[in-house]
Structure 1
Amino acid sequence: MSIASSMHNALSGLNAASRAVNIVSSNVANAMTEGYASRSLELSSRSLDGAGSGVFVEGVRRQADDILIGDRRLTDAAVGYDSTKSQFLSDLEGVIGTPDKAGSLSGRIANFESALIGAASQPDSEARLSAVNDAANSVVSHLKTTSKNIQQARIDADQNIGQQVDKLNIGLKQVEQLNSKIQEAATRGVDPSGLMDLRQKTIDQMSSILPMKQLPRDNGMVALMTTGGAIVLDGKAAEFEFSPVNTIVPEMTLASGALSGLTMNGQPMRTEGDRSPIRGGSLAGEFEVRDQLAPEAQVRLDGYARDLVERFQDPALDATRAPGAAGLFTDAGAAFDPLNEVALSTRLSVNASVDPAQGGAVWHIRDGLGAAVPGEVGNSNLINDLVDAMTAARTPASGGFSVAARSSAGLAADLLSTISADLSAAETQKSFSMSQNETLKQLEMSQGVDTDAEMQKLMLIEQAYAANARVITSADEMIQTILNI
Structure 2
Amino acid sequence: MSLSASLSIATSGLNAAQYAMNVASQNVANAGTSGYAAETANVRARDTNGVGSGVNAGPTTLATDAPLQKALLTQNAETASLSAQNAALSAVSAVQGSTTAAAGSSGTLPDQLGNVQSAMIALVATPDSATAQQNVVAAAGNLVSTVHTLADTYQQQRQNAQDAIVGSVGSINTSLTTIGTLSTQIMRLQSQGVSTADLENQRNTVVTDLSNQLSISTQVVSNGDMSVRTADGLLLPTHDIDGTTNGAISSQWPLSTSAATVTVGAAYPGTSAANALPAVTLVGRDVTSLMRGGTLGGNIALRDTTLPTMQAQLDSFSYTLASRFQQQGIGLFSGSNGSLPSAAGDATAPDGTVGFAQDLQVSRGYAGNASALVNGSKGDTTALQNVLDGGFAGGQVSAPVSGLGINGNLAIGYDGAQGLVALSTSMTAAQASVISDVSGNLDTAQATQTSLSGKLGSATGVSIDREMANIVTLQNAYTANAKVVSAVQSMFQSLLNAIGG
3-state SS of paired residue (1:219): coil
Aligned partners of 1:225, 1:132: CA distance in 2, in Å?
A: 59
Are 1:422 and 2:434 counterparts? Answer: yes
Structure 1 counterpart of 2:283: 265
3-state SS of paired residue (1:220): coil
Q: Any stretches of 5+ residues in structure 1 without a counterpart?
A: 272-276, 319-325, 368-373
Q: Is the 8 A contact 1:81 1:282 kept in 2?
A: yes
Are 1:2 and 2:20 counterparts? Answer: no
Quote the offset at 1:71 in angstroms: 1.8
CA RMSD of aligned residues (A): 2.2
1:402–1:188 distance in 2 versus 1, CA, 3 Å: closer
Structure 1 counterpart of 2:408: none
Structure 2 counterpart of 1:459: 472
Alignment-mate amino acid for residue 453 of structure 2:
K
Q: Structure 1 length normalisation: TM-score?
A: 0.89
3-state SS of paired residue (1:406): coil
Structure 1 counterpart of 2:404: none
Quote the offset at 1:401 in angstroms: 4.9
Q: Any stretches of 5+ residues in structure 2 without a counterpart?
A: 242-252, 345-351, 402-411
Alignment-mate amino acid for residue 477 of structure 2:
A
Structure 2 counterpart of 1:79: 79
Structure 2 counterpart of 1:386: 387
- With 152-161 and 65-74 compared, the bigger mean Cα shift is at 65-74
Aligned partners of 2:37, 2:5: CA distance in 1, in Å?
A: 37
Aligned partners of 2:18, 2:363: CA distance in 1, in Å?
A: 88
Alignment-mate amino acid for residue 444 of structure 1:
L
Are 1:362 and 2:363 counterparts? Answer: no
Structure 2 counterpart of 1:22: 22
Q: Structure 2 length normalisation: TM-score?
A: 0.86
Percent of aligned positions with the same letter in both sequences? 27
Q: Is the 8 A contact 2:264 2:354 kept in 1?
A: no
- With 57-66 and 44-53 compared, the bigger mean Cα shift is at 57-66
Q: Is the 8 A contact 1:21 1:458 kept in 2?
A: yes
Structure 2 counterpart of 1:398: 400
Are 1:204 and 2:208 counterparts? Answer: yes
Alignment-mate amino acid for residue 430 of structure 1:
L
Alignment-mate amino acid for residue 362 of structure 1:
A
Quote the offset at 1:467 in angstroms: 1.7
Quote the offset at 1:126 in angstroms: 0.5
Alignment-mate amino acid for residue 165 of structure 1:
V
Structure 1 counterpart of 2:170: 166
Q: Is the 8 A contact 1:100 1:107 kept in 2?
A: no
1:253–1:172 distance in 2 versus 1, CA, 3 Å: closer
1:358-377 Cα deviation digits (max 9, x unpaired): xxx1111111xxxxxx3334
Aligned partners of 1:342, 1:48: CA distance in 2, in Å?
A: 82
3-state SS of paired residue (1:449): coil
Q: Is the 8 A contact 1:151 1:250 kept in 2?
A: no
Quote the offset at 1:430 in angstroms: 2.0
**1:298-377 matched pairs, under 5 angstroms:** 298-314=311-327, 317-318=328-329, 327-332=331-336, 333-339=338-344, 340-356=352-368, 361-367=369-375, 374-377=376-379
Aligned partners of 1:78, 1:230: CA distance in 2, in Å?
A: 18
Structure 2 counterpart of 1:322: none
**1:127-206 matched pairs, under 5 angstroms:** 127-206=131-210
Structure 1 counterpart of 2:489: 476
Alignment-mate amino acid for residue 38 of structure 1:
A
1:390-447 Cα deviation digits (max 9, x unpaired): 4322363313353474321111110111112222322232222212111111112223
Q: Which of residues 230, 238, 260 is equivalent to 1:245? A: 260
Quote the offset at 1:253 in angstroms: 4.4
Q: Is the 8 A contact 2:73 2:215 kept in 1?
A: yes
Q: Is the 8 A contact 1:99 1:106 kept in 2?
A: no
Aligned pairs, number: 460
Alignment-mate amino acid for residue 205 of structure 1:
D
Aligned partners of 1:204, 1:401: CA distance in 2, in Å?
A: 37
Quote the offset at 1:109 in angstroms: 0.9
Aligned partners of 2:315, 2:189: CA distance in 1, in Å?
A: 61
Q: Is the 8 A contact 1:327 1:335 kept in 2?
A: no
3-state SS of paired residue (1:313): helix
- With 52-61 and 472-481 compared, the bigger mean Cα shift is at 472-481
Alignment-mate amino acid for residue 159 of structure 1:
D
1:27–1:171 distance in 2 versus 1, CA, 3 Å: same
- With 347-356 and 419-428 compared, the bigger mean Cα shift is at 419-428
Quote the offset at 1:35 in angstroms: 3.3
Aligned partners of 1:89, 1:459: CA distance in 2, in Å?
A: 54
Shift >6 Å, 4+ stretches: none
